[in-house]
Amino acid sequence: MTIFTPSSSAEILSTTQWAAAEESPLEILGHGSKRGIGRPLQTEHTLDLSKLTGVTLYEPAELVLSARAGTPLAEIEQLLAENGQQFAFEPMDYGPLLGGEPGQGGKNGTIGGVLATNLSGPRRLKAGAARDHILGVAAVSGRGEAFKSGGRVVKNVTGYDLSKLMANSWGTLAVLTDVTFKVLPAAETEVTLAVRGLLDEAAVAAMALALGSSAEVSSAAHLPERIALKVAGGKHGSDAATLLRVEGFGPSVVYRVEALKQLLGKAGPLEEIAGEASKAIWRDIRDCRPFADGGAQPVWRVSMAPSEAHHMVMALRMQAAVDAFYDWQGGLVWLSMREDDPEAELLRRLIRKHGGGHATLVRASAPHRAALPVFEPQPPHLAALSARLKVEFDPKNILNPGRMAPGAGSATLA
Amino acid sequence: MSGLAMPKPDAETLRRRAEIVADMRIIVPGEGVVDTANEMRAFESDGLTAYRQLPLVVVLPETVAQVSRVLKYCNDRNIRVVPRGSGTSLSGGALPLEDAVLLVMSRFNRILAIDYPNRIVVAQPGVTNLGITNAVEQDGFYYAPDPSSQIACSIGGNVAENSGGVHCLKYGLTANNVLGIEMVLMNGEVMRLGGSHLDQEGYDLLGVMTGSEGLLGVVTEVTVRILKKPETARALLIGFPTSEEGGQCVADIIGAGIIPGGMEMMDRPAIHAAEDFVHAGYPLDVEALLIVELDGPSVEVDHLIGLVEAIAYRNGSSTCRISQSEQERLSFWAGRKAAFPAVGRISPDYYCMDGTIPRKELPRVLAGMRDLSEKYGLGVANVFHAGDGNLHPLILYDANVPGELDKAENFGADILRLCVEVGGVLTGEHGVGVEKRDLMPEMFNQIDLDQQMRVKCAFDPNHLLNPGKVFPQLRRCAELGRMHVHRGQVAFPDIPRF
């Protein structure tokens, strides 16, 4: 058992070359903040990137930031905040859900991990995920070769976009050494409009109405009754809350919130939540705080068409004991199983029945994670293509082998 | 074409042409196969008209099953295929090959679904970019990426090229606005990536397909995100005595936290050509002209107009007009939108480049371009997507003067080298195609290029789909797959460990 802790790209290159030559698998690790997601690994050696740190380029006026892959996300977000900027995709912190604490002394994830797991947050609806903001990468493939892709400019179609291919690859294609992201100005003002007391179906309709208006809603979530009590320390009560976030310059936010009130006045009682109180709500939704109970009951992250997901949840409730809440206008469902059984087959069958999408088992005991496909199984042609891609990057299967699916590749067969 | 080496035509394929044409007629009955030189002439080039080549045969399928059968047929017989949408590529991405089937997707021209609650449109790949907006605008929606060829270019082609437009900085490129595709691999396999949900499971194959220039698969269906039209838009037309001041103004606008819907800059030659052509009322005594468009609710737009005006003043603007009506806003844009034809009026031919640079390098790159212009004895006019650093130098030349096309191409290559040198890239939105293929080593070393080609190998191991594009030199997949390290030959890494 060896833990390599390289502090340069050259050291990562030599470690990977050695591992490829010896066909000796490596677990690729940043802070380990998402180590509990995916199939448990059984590698002899670990490549720990947490010493490969430092912001190497930050030019606020050019909206660009580059950093070594092991740089703590917390450190970068603080630097951005000092300059009135942010990652618009609002990367979530899995710490609370998986048993850690937010921040964790700055150990709540690295910037490389942000890309490798394609993190996003409630603003995904408007601003996309990590994959939409990555501009360039440098990485070492499982072949033991250092390659780069992309650049430092927003508009770039030179060659295949291998930077995006790193998103959501969970360290199975290459070891990231450097990443360059687009950054954006942080909003000057934020206000959340809450419609209270709606059932799921009415909430989804209200959110679709709001998103179809020109109010430029940046986030839309629905917390059913009781779940609402589990955000922002319970200070907004337990009535169901359908939440619409409006961000931007002051006068514009006032105007757009007013427009939303006109639009939704008949839907239910309205509340306005501004500033820090609004931020606290969205932080808790982002981090799946309602299910961060310190337990280990199975939690699923389900992505579907916004208008369809609640139908699936209703059908699921007939057959299994679940708690659920919705982000992304209803298109992202966080599901907590009240029993120990993750109900993987039932859930995935219902997703297919209701227009398709995918489910990831983000919290479960190790035996469940070893026995069940944590990531959504893929149809045969697609799974085979993914497996071929894996071989092209990592022919000896030395990078996080089996993390996404048994054997090589990223997907189990459907 | 000046010295561009394309893959050597396969003699066996050329010899069997009649048989291949007959088989294509069986797979795509009716009018879907075009094989006479006269009729194929319409397909001999794309938007990069300096390069022309008749294909082996033109096939226009109507169904996904036909696309799959054509590709499988060709894959099994080692026949090359070049996919084509509307043929508006400016980099020769759809340039035919003598021994390749040209697979034209224009008959896939239907909108399949409009879904307002989820704000998506599902379209066949031959639907034009503007066709999507046209289908939803009566309900106040639009599709955001707006390449200037939007009236003609197809959404399938937009996916292949990851097309941009003037609104990218705020609304993203094609890659950020496509939720799903259906595609066919060279071996005929049909698969779906993404869908009407927001993120794809597994590897981001949708991300790598977008901008892959028709080398990985043929897109047969596209699901895009549509947006509600902003309530209003207003623009400022700002002139500066120097490009440095204009560039600093752009930096300060962004520094103030403002992301305009569009931000375009023109240099003196472009301003003059445009003004002579459309009489937009552009000031002629400035070195740089900036159009800043702000969109959103009027209260926001009015607020930001004030801020931008102040920033412009602080940066030494010599003129600043603010649109007071929709008509005036459109008049500000009229010159910019007509910039290419306007330059076409002052020169027999022009060659449009497409590098991207870090914005702060604009003065240096413009100065470098002036030097190059002198060296080559050819004029150059510049339009610039100032917000995102995407530069479109238009090199003026006369194709009828022997040697001038070569000179223009060399001038263009030097401009792109300069872009890479200052931290930029070869192409921001037009693609590599055949045009910039041989410049790829300016940006990537052999290891970088080999890894890109290995992605190609996972999709199309025989290099049959659109060969001769993007990569300067094709290497066989078997050779690319080989590993040259063996057990015991690499030392245990000498780095800190526990």
At residue A100, the pLDDT reads 65
A185, B491: Cβ pair inside 8 Å? no
Interchain CB contacts (distance < 8 Å): A and B: 319
B401 SS3 class: coil
At residue A69, the pLDDT reads 98
Query: What is the pLDDT averaged over residues B32-53?
Result: 95
Q: Out of B140, B428, B455, name the one closest to residue A157 (CB).
A: B428
Q: Is the pLDDT of residue B67 over 90?
A: yes
**Of B53, B33, B32, B30, which Cα lies nearest the Cα of B43?**
B53
Q: Which helix (H) or strand (E) holds A300?
A: strand A299-304
| Optimal mutation site among B72, B90, B91, B118, interface A, most CBs of chain A within 10 A | B118
Quickly tell me which residue has 């090589």 as its tokens.
Answer: A408
Q: Judge whether B337 and B273 are in contact, CB under 8 Å.
A: no
B425, A386: Cβ pair inside 8 Å? no
Average pLDDT score, chain A: 95
Q: Out of B197, B458, B486, name the one closest to residue A392 (CB).
A: B458
Q: Judge whether A52 and A12 are in contact, CB under 8 Å.
A: yes
Q: Which residues contact B421 (CB under 8 A, 6 or more apart)?
A: none
pLDDT digits (tens, 9 = 90+) for A266-297: 999 999 999 999 999 999 999 999 999 988 89
Q: Which residue of A has its CA nearest to B249?
A: A61
At residue A408, the pLDDT reads 58
B193/B173 Cα distance (integer angstroms): 18
B201, A156: Cβ pair inside 8 Å? no
Long-range contacts of residues B64-68, Cβ cutoff 8 Å, at least 24 apart: B64/B182, B64/B184, B64/B190, B64/B220, B64/B221, B66/B27, B66/B28, B66/B32, B67/B103, B67/B105, B67/B184, B67/B218, B67/B220, B68/B184, B68/B188, B68/B189, B68/B190
Tell how far CA A41 is from the center of its chain.
Answer: 21
* Domain at A289-371: CATH code: 3.30.70
At residue A106, the pLDDT reads 63
Query: What is the pLDDT averaged over residues B12-37?
Result: 97
Give the fold, CATH level 3, of A189-286: Alpha-Beta Plaits (3.30.70)
Burial class (CB in 10 A: 0-12, 13-18, 19+), B232: middle
B427, A149: Cβ pair inside 8 Å? no
A11 in contact with B at a CB cutoff of 8 Å? Answer: yes
- In chain A, domain spans: 2-185, 189-286, 289-371
B114/B196 Cα distance (integer angstroms): 11
Mean pLDDT lowest for which of A298-302, A330-334, B152-156, B383-387? B383-387
At residue B497, the pLDDT reads 75
Q: Tell me if ipTM is over 0.85.
A: yes
Percentage of residues in chain B having pLDDT higher than 70: 99
Q: Minimal Cα–Cα distance from A227 to chain B, Å?
A: 24
Q: Which residues are registered as beta bridge partners of A65?
A: A58, A181
B498, A3: Cβ pair inside 8 Å? yes
Q: Is the pLDDT of residue A168 over 60?
A: yes
At residue A198, the pLDDT reads 98
Asked whether this chain's domains A2-185 and A189-286 adopt the same fold, the reply is no
- In this prediction, residue B408 has a pLDDT band, given cuts at 50, 70 and 90, of very high
A183/A135 Cα distance (integer angstroms): 10
Query: What is the pLDDT averaged over residues A214-231?
Result: 96
> B residues 130-149 near A, CB within 8 Å?
140
Domains, chain B, in order of start with CATH, read 11-104 (3.30.43.10), 111-228 (3.30.465.10), 232-340 (3.30.70.3450), 347-437 (3.30.70.2740), 446-481 (no CATH)
B36/B41 Cα distance (integer angstroms): 9
Question: Cα dist. B476→B75, B77, B98, B190, B255 in Å?
Answer: 16, 17, 21, 25, 48
Contacts of residue B173 in chain A, CB cutoff 8 Å? Answer: 155
A157, B118: Cβ pair inside 8 Å? no
Average pLDDT score, chain B: 95
pLDDT digits (tens, 9 = 90+) for A241-253: 999 999 999 999 9
Helices (H), B279-424: 298-314, 326-337, 339-346, 362-376, 404-421
**Of B89, B92, B127, B96, which Cα lies nearest the Cα of B34?**
B96
Contacts of residue A61 in chain B, CB cutoff 8 Å? Answer: 251-252, 254-255, 359-360
Q: Which residue of B has its CA nearest to A15?
A: B493
At residue B1, the pLDDT reads 43
pLDDT digits (tens, 9 = 90+) for A97-144: 998 655 555 688 999 999 999 999 999 999 999 999 999 999 999 999
Q: Which residue of A has its CA nearest to B254?
A: A61
B495, A5: Cβ pair inside 8 Å? yes
> Maximum CA pair distance of chain B?
75
- DSSP per-residue letters across B252-278: HHHHTT---SEEEEEEHHHHHHHHHHH
* Other residues' Cβ atoms within 10 Å of the Cβ of residue A23: 12
Going by the DSSP 8-state scheme, the letter that residue B154 receives in this structure is B
What one-letter code names the amino acid at A36?
G
Give the fold, CATH level 3, of A2-185: 3.30.465
At residue A414, the pLDDT reads 66
At residue B358, the pLDDT reads 95
- Rounded (to 5) percent helix, strand, coil in chain A: 35, 25, 40
Q: Is the pLDDT of residue B154 over 90?
A: yes
Burial class (CB in 10 A: 0-12, 13-18, 19+), B29: exposed
At residue A102, the pLDDT reads 53
A385, B172: Cβ pair inside 8 Å? no
B185 in contact with A at a CB cutoff of 8 Å? Answer: yes
